[in-house]
Structure 1
Amino acid sequence: MRKAGIPAEIFPDNAKMKKQMGRADALGIPYVGIIGETELANGTVTLKDMATGEQKQLTVGQLIEELNRN
Structure 2
Amino acid sequence: MAIEPPDELIQLQHASDAAHAAVRADPTPEAWAAWRDRAGEVQAAVTAHALEIGKPRNEVEAAVKKAARHPAGS
TM-score by length of 1: 0.31
Higher helix fraction (1 or 2): 2
Tell me which protein shows more strand as a share of its residues.
Answer: 1
